[in-house]
Amino acid sequence: MESFIKKVFEGINDEYVHIQFQKFSRGEFKNRAMIRLKNSNGKYTLNTTSEYARELVRAMGDKLGNSKTHVTGTLISALEISGIRYEGKSNAMGIKKYRIDREMTGIEIVEICDTQTKAFIGLSFKAGEDELKVQAKSPKSSKGAASNKKEDVELKINFCKLKTTDKNLIEKFIFDNEDKGAKKIEIKHDFLIKDIIVPQEYKNEKDFAIIREKALRKGIIIRYLNIDGKEIKKEIEFEA
C-alpha cells in the first residue's frame, strides 16, 4: 500500500487519501506526516508520525500474506466496532479501545485496515525480519498553525517505527528521486487547506457529521526534505 502523500504527488485520490484529510478545517497545519529515516548499509530504520500508522500496518500485512505472526496493539474508535475479534475493550470519554493480542495472518491484518476505516489502527508485529511498532494510543488531534511550538524545538517523530531491509517497503513512503543512496532523511509537510467543497449530493444534508465526512478539502501540500543535510522544498495542489 502506497502512502497517502505519495498518492497525492502522483495525482491519485482514493478513499485512503480522503480519510487522511477528513479531520481538517480551513487553515494552515504545519509539520504533518513527518518521516525520519536512517540507512545503515541497507538496514533501514523508519520513524514516522501517526498519519502513516494504517498504511504501515497494511503494507506489512500485505508482506506477511498467509503467514502468521503475533500481533499486539489497539483499535481506537469513537464508534462501536463489530465483526472483529479482540482480547479486551475499554471506554473512556466516549473513545473505545479494542485490545489485540493474538496470532494473526497478514490477510486478517489487511482486512481490519480495509474494513475499519473510521478506527485508528495501532498494531505492532513482525513480518519475517521486518518489525513494526506503533504506539497503542490515540493520536493528537489536528491543530492549526497558531498552536505550533517554537520552530527550534526538535520535532517528535516516533509514533511509528519500522525496521527493515526491504527497500521496496521504504519506497512506499519515501519516493523522491533525490533520496537515492541517502543515509539520513527527514521529511515534513505543511497542509494549507484553502477551501472545503461539499459534493452536490450532500448540499441539502442536515447532519453536519456526514457533511464533514463527505466534504473534500482543497489546497496545497508543501513538502520539505532534508537529505543528508541538503534541503529541498516541493509543493502540489490537491483536492481530497
End-to-end CA distance of the chain: 18
Question: If 0-12 CB within 10 Å is exposed, 13-18 middle and 19+ buried, where does residue 199 land?
Answer: exposed
pLDDT for residue 78: 92
Q: Helix, strand or coil for residue 171?
A: coil
Q: Helix, strand or coil for residue 106?
A: helix
Is 132 within 8 Å of 60 (Cβ atoms)?
Answer: yes
pLDDT for residue 140: 78
Is 84 within 8 Å of 98 (Cβ atoms)?
Answer: yes
* Grid coordinates belonging to 33: 506526516
When comparing pLDDT for 236 and 1, which is higher?
A: 236
233 bridge partner residues:
224
Is 15 within 8 Å of 169 (Cβ atoms)?
Answer: no
Q: Give the residue-averaged pLDDT of 24-31.
A: 96
- The domain ranges of the chain are 4-239
pLDDT for residue 147: 44
Q: What confidence tier does 54 reach under pLDDT thresholds 50, 70, 90?
A: very high
133 bridge partner residues:
161
Is 98 within 8 Å of 120 (Cβ atoms)?
Answer: no
Half-sphere exposure of residue 52: CA atoms within 13 angstroms, side-chain side: 35
pLDDT > 70: what percent of the chain? Answer: 95
Q: Give the residue-averaged pLDDT of 30-37.
A: 98
Find the helix or strand (DSSP H, E) in which 55 lies. helix 53-64
Q: Give the residue-averaged pLDDT of 141-150.
A: 54
What would the pLDDT profile of 167-225 be if each residue is shown by its tens digit?
999 999 999 988 888 999 999 999 999 999 999 999 899 898 899 899 999 999 999 99
Average pLDDT value for the chain: 93
What would the pLDDT profile of 97-121 be if each residue is shown by its tens digit?
999 999 999 999 999 999 999 999 9
Residue 142 in this model has a pLDDT that exceeds 60: no
- pTM metric for this prediction: 0.92
